[in-house]
């Protein structure tokens, strides 16, 4: 993969721990990593590309710890429906009809560009045809943890569920890891995968040394199923199956009790919360304050574009903070700094990448974004974390660097012809079945 040998970023501001945005003279990037900060003086290193920061705010690339990129095709296909109606009558049939390798690759590119444009540089993506979606995401310029889906039902690319573990093993062995991509395993949930599947999938992930993702405790309905089928609760059940360890990422975790949170913390598993998806689907508000108090690594996820319906981690920061304040009747809880941490260092730690991404420091991979704060919506400016969490959104991002390469420049993707990709997705979307949304004031 071609990347700039040397990149000089000039004239930015850098967000400090205390929320103050300090002037930053220069950052030199070599071989995809941050080489020096404020150390090159006035003269650019010979042969370096130059990115003018224009006094804008330089941040670590944002990290999306949960997405299903190909589902971008279903964004807005059927909204405002009860979760089970939405899934069973619209999403599952649409997936059965429309998801294939080519679609996953196409939608991976679209989702990749959308995420880069909103400042997301790393995504943990979980779906079927994961290798094709990852190809699209990487082509757009993203860093990807690509998790192949496992479910005990016929699935896109895996028509025979008896072969779901074998298909995942094949995915892992065929995957070519790179600077930008690592493979992983994604079991859909404890109610759509039987205990043997869960154990085999985790064993496969362990033997491959890769991450294991699973939707957990997303809805009240899931609690009822796990109680009925296993006389347990989602967190305890996974613990009994010996699934929880530092390489497991639990997604959603809306409905966990205090003891389950303690168990998860003791086992060192990480959590990805998806506040906007959980609210749109009326699943609830995850007790993220308790996760953080317990010392659990927590990252933010957008979930799919069909769920929320935007791939924008800055909006997730806002919603994480606002929803937690509402849930606790306490405006002081989950301050902006915590939201920002979840979107950067927290997300990196969650994915086991805390030594590589999430911070702007010499030696870290060069994943960085530039935000244009020179706008009425971001005026005045007192505290950087607050500004980013409550006033900024992904549309304020102007430039994006992943692994040292400028993949968005002045809001334009540099690697993908986005018009071609959008046109292809529009065309494919016209083959989706018609759906009539509920009328005004209908109450479901």
Q: How many CA atoms lie within 13 A of 222 on its CB side?
A: 23
**At which residue do the structure tokens 């086992």 appear?**
267
Where in 84-123 is the site for a copy of itself (CB under 8 A)? 85-86, 110, 113-114, 117-118
How far apart are the C-alpha atoms of 165 and 187, rounded to whole Å? Answer: 10
DSSP code per residue over 377-418: GG-S-S-HHHIIIII--GGGEEEEEETTEEEEETTEESSS-H
Out of 41, 47, 209, 444, the only residue in the binding site for a copy of itself (CB under 8 A) is 444
220 binds a copy of itself (CB under 8 A): yes
Alpha carbon distance 147, 182 (integer Å): 9
Q: Out of 16, 23, 76, 194, point to the residue binding a copy of itself (CB under 8 A).
A: 76
* Whether the Cβ atoms of residue 421 and residue 140 lie closer than 8 Å to each other: no
Stretch that binds a copy of itself, among 43-51, 165-173, 190-198, 313-321 (CB under 8 A): 313-321
Smallest gap from residue 432 Cβ to a copy of itself (A)? 7
Four-residue CA torsion sign, 232, 238, 241, 245: negative
When the beta carbons of 182 and 283 are compared against a copy of itself, the nearer one is 283
Asked if 37 is part of the footprint of a copy of itself (rule: CB under 8 A), the reply reads: no
Task: Report the interhelical angle of 195-208 vs 164-174 (nearest 10°).
Answer: 10
Q: Which of 19, 44, 195, 268 binds a copy of itself (CB under 8 A)?
A: 19
CB of 107 to a copy of itself, least distance (A): 10
- Nearer to a copy of itself by C-beta: 102 or 170? 102
Q: Compute the distance between CA of residue 348 and CA of residue 65 in angstroms, rounded to an integer.
A: 8
Residue closer to a copy of itself, measured from CB, 209 or 439: 439
Binding of a copy of itself at residue 431 (CB under 8 A)?
no
- How do beta strands 181-187 and 212-216 pair? parallel
Stretch that binds a copy of itself, among 169-177, 234-242, 400-408, 428-436 (CB under 8 A): 428-436
Residue 316 near a copy of itself by CB under 8 A:
no
Should residue 325 be labelled a site residue for a copy of itself when binding is judged by CB under 8 A? Answer: yes
Would you count residue 69 as binding a copy of itself (CB under 8 A)? no
Considering beta carbons, is residue 336 or 368 the nearer one to a copy of itself?
Answer: 336
27 in Cβ contact with 37 (< 8 Å): yes
């Amino acid at each position: 993969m071609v990347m700039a040998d040397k990149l000089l970023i000039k004239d930015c501001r850098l967000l400090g721990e205390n929320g103050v945005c300090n002037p930053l003279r220069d950052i030199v990037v070599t071989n995809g990593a941050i080489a020096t900060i404020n150390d090159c003086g006035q003269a650019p290193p010979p042969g370096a590309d130059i990115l003018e920061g224009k006094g804008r705010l330089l941040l670590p690339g944002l990290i999306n710890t949960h997405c299903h990129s190909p589902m971008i095709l279903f964004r807005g296909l059927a909204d405002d429906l009860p979760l089970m109606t939405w899934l069973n009558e619209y999403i599952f049939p649409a997936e059965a009809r429309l998801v294939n390798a080519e679609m996953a690759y196409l939608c991976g590119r679209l989702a990749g560009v959308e995420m880069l444009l909103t400042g997301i540089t790393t995504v943990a993506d979980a779906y079927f045809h994961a290798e094709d979606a990852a190809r699209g995401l990487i082509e757009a310029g993203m860093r990807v943890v690509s998790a192949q889906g496992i479910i005990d039902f016929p699935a896109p690319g895996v028509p025979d569920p008896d072969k779901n573990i074998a298909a995942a093993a094949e995915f892992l062995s065929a995957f070519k890891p790179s600077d930008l991509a690592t493979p992983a395993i994604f079991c859909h949930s404890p109610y759509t995968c039987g205990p043997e599947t869960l154990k085999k999938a985790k064993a496969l992930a362990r033997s491959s040394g890769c991450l294991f993702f699973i939707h957990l405790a997303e809805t009240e309905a899931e609690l009822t199923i796990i109680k009925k089928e296993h006389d347990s609760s989602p967190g305890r059940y996974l613990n009994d199956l010996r699934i929880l360890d530092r390489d497991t990422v639990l997604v959603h975790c809306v409905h966990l009790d205090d003891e389950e949170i303690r168990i998860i913390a003791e086992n060192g598993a990480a959590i990805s919360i998806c506040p906007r998806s959980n609210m749109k689907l009326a699943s609830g508000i995850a007790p993220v304050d308790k996760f953080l108090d317990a010392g659990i690594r927590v990252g933010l996820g957008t979930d799919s574009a069909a769920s929320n319906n935007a791939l924008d981690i800055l909006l997730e920061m806002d919603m994480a903070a606002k929803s937690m304040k509402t849930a606790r009747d306490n405006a002081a809880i989950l301050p902006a700094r915590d939201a920002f941490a979840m979107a950067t260092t927290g997300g990196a730690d969650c994915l086991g990448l805390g030594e590589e991404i999430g911070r702007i420091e010499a030696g870290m991979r060069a994943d960085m974004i530039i935000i244009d704060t020179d706008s009425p919506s971001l005026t005045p400016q007192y505290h950087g974390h607050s500004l980013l969490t409550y006033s900024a959104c992904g549309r304020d991002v102007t430039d994006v660097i992943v692994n040292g390469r400028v993949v968005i420049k002045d809001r334009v993707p540099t690697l993908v012809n986005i018009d071609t990709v959008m046109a292809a997705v529009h065309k494919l979307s016209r083959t989706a079945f018609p759906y009539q949304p509920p009328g005004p004031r209908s109450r479901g």
